Structure 1
Amino acid sequence: MSSSISSRRPGILSVALTLFLNGVLPLLLYVWLRKGHSEFVALLIASALPLVESALYYARFRKLDAFGLLMLAGMVLSMLLALMGGETKLLLLRGSAVTAVIGAAFLCSLCFPRPLMVPLARRFTSTHKHEDFDALWSIPYARRVYKIMTAVWGVILIGEAAVRTLLAWELSTTWFLAVSDIVFYSFIAAAALWTLYYRRIAAKKLALIRLGGSLS
């Protein structure tokens, strides 16, 4: 089935490349720069990578890159919090604040005609299928699918932020640093696995709709 919900290989390659350019590479650059620069300078330079990738995407497609903008917003928020400084506990909560803001952005986007998951899904869809993606959006069930995925990701991200915030106040700094990444990646993995499972179910129902079947 040729749709953004069921397309896999182009989507996987696009996701992998985007995650590397917007997530892995900036993180590696930040870690390397922290050896000889302040945290603010390291974040400032690392945040330029998502901005460059977003600019290239805009130059090619004349559209803003939602994923790159999210990553950039996270970096900018981290810079602002780094400038604020504060107690150790507050510094430990910086990652949770970024996650909570992104989760809130997902939920707030439900108030708009197209929730945040729509431009993200389109970003990871091969270019020659963009017209098919637009046709897919005309189907009420497809719109509901994207709204549900947007809501679930928003709730999971805010839930992750809440759990890490609680741990930051209850655990020592050493223990928090030991379990913080485990908590974060566990929540993200759970969201990703749920998305794959839900997409598979949604793709089957969508195929029936496109073939003229009925959906209870």
Structure 2
Amino acid sequence: MTKKKAFVPLIMDVAVPVGSYYLFKDGLGMSTLAALGWSSVVPAVRTGWSVVKDRTVNGLAALILFVNVVGLLLSFVAGDPRLMLVKDSGVSSVVGIGILVSVAMGRPIMTAVAKPWLVKGDERREAAWRRLQSGSEDFRRAERVFSVVWGVVLLGECVVRIVGAYTLPVDTMVWLGTVIMIVAMAGGFLVSGALAAGPMAAMLAAEVCDKRAEGEKCSVSAAPEAPLAAVAE
């Protein structure tokens, strides 16, 4: 698997629907309702295709589709400015809950986000990933931890923004909401990197080294590339 191919699922399931939403809304001037509807086409097709073809649910595509549906429902919320601020937290809470549910079901959804950065399109790392995923409880635990951290971070961000929306002046929360999001994301990268991405990268490197050809020098880096590199150190 090439490095570019490793990122195809992430691009198709996340980047395309999110990017198309902003293209439809800001670039083409569509309403929020129309933009959410049209940007749901790709995740809807991807989810349906995975069910028909593989008899499984494409977790990331299904989550993005669910988020868009919630966004469509929330788009009807209007009036109270504080309620409008709370509406902005709705997506974070939906994603956070979806991530935690995926962990409870034994299929941590954030693995699909971490894997491309850790495997880097390297066939040896891809093979090592499969071996560890099927035979290492420590590796599977790190997968779950990675998702749990992000689920908790997103839910925590939602709670903080809701509390702020009803306890602080509206004008303050308009800018503070963005600050809270940035801090939450930075914290998520740091904690998930230290507790999960870093250890997973080290296990992958060790597994590749253990399976190297006789006499081959082992020089596989354990540190994942950006944006996970900083948090794995």
Question: TM-score, normalised on structure 2?
Answer: 0.68
Question: One-letter code of the match for 2:22?
Answer: L
2:184 counterpart of 1:191: no
1:100 to 78, 81, 93: 93
Moved more, 184-193 or 69-78: 184-193
Amino acid at match of 1:161: C
What is the correspondence of 1:66-215 to structure 2 with a 5 Å cutoff? 66-85=59-78, 87-121=80-114, 126=121, 132-138=128-134, 139-197=136-194, 198-205=196-203, 207-208=205-206, 211=210
| C-alpha distance 91-28 of structure 1, shift in aligned 2 (>3 A) | same
CA contact (8 A) 1:66 1:120 kept: no
Whichever residue aligns with residue 140 of structure 2, its letter is R
Asked if 1:26 is matched to 2:24, the reply is no
Q: Which has the higher contact order (CA 8 A, sep 6+)?
A: 1
Change (3 A) 1:174 1:48: farther
Q: Percent of counterpart pairs with the same letter?
A: 22
Show structure 1 runs of 5+ residues with no match.
none
Structure 1 residue 84: deviation in Å? 4.5
Deviation of 1:146 (Å): 0.6
Aligned residues of 1:96 and 1:161 also touching (Cα < 8 A): yes
**Are the equivalent residues in 1 in contact too, given 2:43–2:61 (CA < 8 A)?**
yes
TM-score (norm 1): 0.72
Residue 143 of structure 1: how far off its partner (Å)? 0.7
2-structure distance, mates of 1:144, 1:194:
15
- Mapped contact 1:26–1:49 kept (Cα < 8 A): no
Change (3 A) 1:56 1:120: farther
Q: Confirm or deny: 8 A CA contact 2:93 2:158 kept in the other structure.
A: yes
1:190 maps to a residue whose letter is: G
Alignment RMSD (CA, Å): 3.8
